[in-house]
Amino acid sequence: METLAARVTRFFLQKHYIEPDQAEWFQYGLTRRMIGFLTFLLLLPVGAILVGWIGSFLYLYTFRFMRTRTGGYHAKTPHGCLLTSLGTMFAALTLAKKLHSPFLVGTVLFASALCIFVLAPANNASLHLTSNEITAIRPRARLRLACVVLISCLLLYIRAPLASCMAVALLAVAVMLVLTNSRVGAQ
């Protein structure tokens, strides 16, 4: 991934799409996005085996949508991230299949949302957030949380199994935040 990102960066520099002082950040951001996209593509079929394609997509999208503003545990390597994501996804979607009652889905959803509301955004050695950045991110994280909870509640009445996939995605984010705030996930 890094080699491809370096080639794309060189191309953009040659075409003057980016300035030389932007090259390092551009390459870093491109590498992260490529790894994230590849991880998404690798995890999607695994989740589809457990809960179907739509449920897998909803879980992954919800998890990533929330994680970009909430933080939480971060693995030290891309391989560690992939394995952690795979294990988390397998456990969460296995739980999603067992949440048959709308009451249980709602309980998981609101308990996870409360935890995220209180603990997000988390800071750790991988993120290096300042107090001003944390203050700026908090309203955006809460807005995203409100959107996810609203959509999950609507799905709970339309198609409960899909709502359970979103609820366990919030649960996974909440667990990552608890790990980070308890210093287990601190690096």
pLDDT at res. 115: 94
Taking the chain (187 residues) in runs of 10, the rounded mean pLDDT of each run is: 86 89 88 85 91 95 89 73 84 91 94 94 70 86 95 94 95 90 59
**pLDDT at residue 35, rounded to an integer:** 83
Residue 32 domain-assigned? no
- 79 located within any domain: yes
Specify if 41 maps to a domain.
no
Range of the domain at 76: 49-181
Nearest to 8, CA basis, from 30, 24, 37: 30
> Two tokens at 42?
């690798």
Locate 178 and state its tokens: 């608890």
Query: Among 81, 102, 108, which residue's Cα sits nearest to residue 175?
Result: 108
Residue 115 forms part of a structural domain: yes
pLDDT of residue 148: 96
Give pLDDT, residue 125.
61
Spatial separation of the C-alpha atoms in residues 72 and 66, rounded to whole Å: 10
How many structural domains is the chain composed of? Answer: 1
pLDDT of residue 176: 87
**Domain for residue 121, yes or no?**
yes
Residue 76 forms part of a structural domain: yes
In a domain, 144, yes or no: yes
User: What predicted TM-score, i.e. pTM, was given to this entire model?
Assistant: 0.84
| Tokens representing residue 34 in the block | 């490529």
Cis peptide leading into residue 102 (ω within 30°)? no
Per the CB < 8 A criterion, the answer to whether 116 and 141 are in contact is yes
1 within a domain of the structure (yes/no): no
